[in-house]
Amino acid sequence: MSRVIRFGVALILGLAFLMTATPAQAAPAHSADALTAAVRVLRYDASRAAEFRSAVDQAAQIWNSSVSNVRLVAGSPADFVVLADNGWPRAQPTSLGRGTVWMGRQATAEGHNPLRIAAHEIGHILGLPDRRTGRCTDLMSGASAGTSCTNPNPNAAERAEVQRNFAGSTPAIDFGRIYADIPEQAAF
């Protein structure tokens, strides 16, 4: 009989603990914290990126460590596809987080860093436009920073802009446009 009493007491105490602990620990789904903490997962397919596959995966990790409300993962079905070709790097974002990236061999043959190119082109998919500042600290300055620039990291302003884009702001990019990387434009 004492086992039944101990079980009953343990059950009541356990339920009482759950009733008092749960409301303090769980945030309502409609709270502001829950909305800002939402992470949008974007799947990318780099299976046709050839020798650039590693650079694309590294660039995805750079973006993952740079922003908190979007996460890039390799997988299918893909939100964006990365291809290798012999032209200049370019991207065609079709909507925020969706589109196509081409990793152009011509730019790497001229000495541009593949990891910087991959991070820059993914930046277009995340809603960032080209900004030809010539500064190596600006990821979206692309090739205007020169072949000696190998920085693949977005700066604070670029990180904040992506955060805003995925929090509902209107991106400063034209969807459907191909952001082509031709030597005359000198930009990835």
For residue 161, indicate whether it is catalytic: no
Residue with token string 């977005």: 154
- Cβ atoms of 167 and 36 closer than 8 Å: yes
Residue 81 neighbours by CB under 8 Å, 6+ apart: 44, 45, 46, 48, 100, 101
Encoded tokens for 179: 């952001």
CA dist 181 and 120 (Å) reads 11
Catalytic residue selected from 51, 121, 158, 161: 121
Torsion, CA 12, CA 14, CA 17, CA 22, rounded to 10: -120
Residue 185 neighbours by CB under 8 Å, 6+ apart: 130, 132
3-state SS, residue 148: coil
Active site residues: 121
